[in-house]
């Protein structure tokens, strides 16, 4: 492939990573690895967009939407750059995915608490055992 593309024969040119994260992941991990990588990239984006849409009046949805769009841009940029395979970029991706998950969870719990009637019993707390009541 490098000969047909006219790449100069030296270790710097022929040993460089391909400038497409998806092709690089496919070459290194196979089709199953590429499918898992697609899921890894797509799931936080879908969760962020769905969570932001469902909670449009919550101020946290703005941050969730911004993080989701940022991850979408990173996934599109991965078509032209291989930098996603670096540790520091993966750490930032994991932090963003964690923040998205936490925000969407907080918004869902807040919405559930707003819907709960005032006189209802909170079932999320642990039940008191018999020896604690004595």
Looking at residue 120, its pLDDT comes to 57
With beta carbons less than 8 A apart as the criterion, state whether 40 and 31 touch: no
Looking at residue 5, its pLDDT comes to 66
Looking at residue 15, its pLDDT comes to 67
What is the tens place of the pLDDT at every residue in 84-101? 989 999 999 999 999 999
Looking at residue 43, its pLDDT comes to 97
Looking at residue 83, its pLDDT comes to 86
Q: What is the pTM of this model?
A: 0.75
Ranges of the chain with pLDDT below 70: 1-7, 11-15, 117-134
Looking at residue 122, its pLDDT comes to 56
Q: Which residues of 30-64 are buried (b: 16+ CB within 10 A; e: fewer)?
A: eeeebeebeeebeebbebbbebbeebeebebbeeb
Distance in angstroms (rounded) separating the CA atoms of residues 90 and 88: 5
Q: Which of these, 91, 70, 92, 73, lies nearest to 81 by C-alpha position?
A: 73
Instruction: Please report the sign of the dihedral spanned by the C-alpha atoms of residue 55, residue 57, residue 60, residue 65.
Output: positive
């Amino acid at each position: 492939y490098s000969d047909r593309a006219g790449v100069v024969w030296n270790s710097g040119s022929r040993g460089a990573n391909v400038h497409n994260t998806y092709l690089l992941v496919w070459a290194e991990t196979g089709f199953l690895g590429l499918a898992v990588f697609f899921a890894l990239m797509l799931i936080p984006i879908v969760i962020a967009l769905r969570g932001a849409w469902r909670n449009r009046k919550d101020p946290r949805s703005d941050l969730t939407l911004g993080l989701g769009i940022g991850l979408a841009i990173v996934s599109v940029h991965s078509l032209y750059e291989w930098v996603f395979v670096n540790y520091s970029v993966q750490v930032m991706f994991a932090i963003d995915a964690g923040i998205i998950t936490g925000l969407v969870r907080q918004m869902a719990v807040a919405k559930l608490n707003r819907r709960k009637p005032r006189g209802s019993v909170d079932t999320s707390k642990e039940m008191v055992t018999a020896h604690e009541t004595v």
